[in-house]
């Protein structure tokens, strides 16, 4: 994986002889014959054999079943910590997107509704349209479209944003804030959508390239879906 100069033919020769009563192979012979890296062998008073931790772990696992079990348990523990970290970050971004949603609805109320004649019981349409403006810009579908395709989650009162990735939630938070400012400047909805879609696409691309893990969508509290 890390050594393109590794001599496979020499390795095959050692592998074919391994196990024979006459077979002897020192670390120094191994490195010289195969051009292996990760192992350093020195003779003399301060000499000794040193190996990269990957190799040391492999030796330890081969020698001791107890060590191997500890290694597996530690790996699982660290993965659980990592998972909890991403769960926490996902929750924070979800909270931020909800907070910025209030900024957007406030802008709608102050800068769109006063200029239009809407019946009080139909005001929710304006808010829904603005929310879906961002849904389509980021997720390429409306909330209604998502609920139609996912009736089992819709019954649980879940929505498309509850299944977004950490990166998507971060971008959503950004474009919600930007949309609120555009509304204040009275930029036409079609133009706002065009700009927000371009910004969302660009930001998501950069974030996904920087951190693939955060591009994974949340499926449930402890499961993720690419």
What is the tens place of the pLDDT at every residue in 92-143? 656 666 655 655 566 555 544 445 444 444 454 566 578 888 888 888 888 8
Integer angstrom CA distances of residue 43 from 6, 32, 53: 23, 15, 21
Task: Give the pLDDT of residue 224.
Answer: 37
Check pLDDT > 80 for residue 28.
yes
- Comparing C-alpha atoms, which of 115, 120, 108 is closest to residue 192? 108
Say how many residues make up the chain: 226
Tokens of 213: 């893990």
pTM of the model: 0.47
- Euclidean distance between the first and the last CA atom of the chain, given in angstroms as a whole number: 25
Strands (E), the chain: 39-42, 48-51, 217-218, 224-225
In the chain, where are the structural domains located? 8-63, 81-225
Displacement of CA 113 from its chain's centroid (Å): 39
């Amino acid at each position: 994986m890390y050594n393109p100069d590794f001599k496979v033919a020499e390795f095959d020769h050692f592998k074919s002889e391994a196990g024979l009563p006459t077979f002897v192979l020192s670390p120094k012979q191994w490195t010289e014959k195969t051009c292996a890296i990760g192992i350093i062998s020195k003779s003399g008073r301060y000499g000794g054999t040193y190996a990269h931790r990957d190799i040391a772990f492999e030796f330890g696992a081969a020698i001791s079943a107890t060590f191997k079990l500890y290694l597996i348990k530690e790996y699982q523990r660290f993965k659980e910590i990592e998972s909890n970290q991403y769960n926490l970050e996902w929750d924070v971004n979800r909270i931020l997107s909800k907070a910025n949603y209030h900024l957007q609805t406030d802008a709608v109320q102050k800068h769109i509704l006063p200029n239009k004649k809407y019946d009080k019981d139909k005001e929710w349409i304006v808010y829904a349209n603005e929310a879906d403006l961002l849904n389509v810009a980021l997720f390429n579908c409306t909330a209604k479209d998502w609920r139609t395709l996912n009736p089992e989650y819709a019954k649980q009162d879940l929505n498309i944003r509850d299944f977004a990735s950490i990166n998507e939630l971060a971008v959503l938070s950004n474009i919600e804030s930007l949309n609120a400012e555009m509304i204040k400047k009275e930029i036409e909805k079609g133009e706002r959508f065009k700009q927000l879609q371009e910004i969302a696409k660009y930001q998501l691309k950069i974030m996904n390239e920087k951190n693939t893990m955060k591009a994974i969508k949340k499926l449930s509290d402890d499961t993720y879906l690419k």
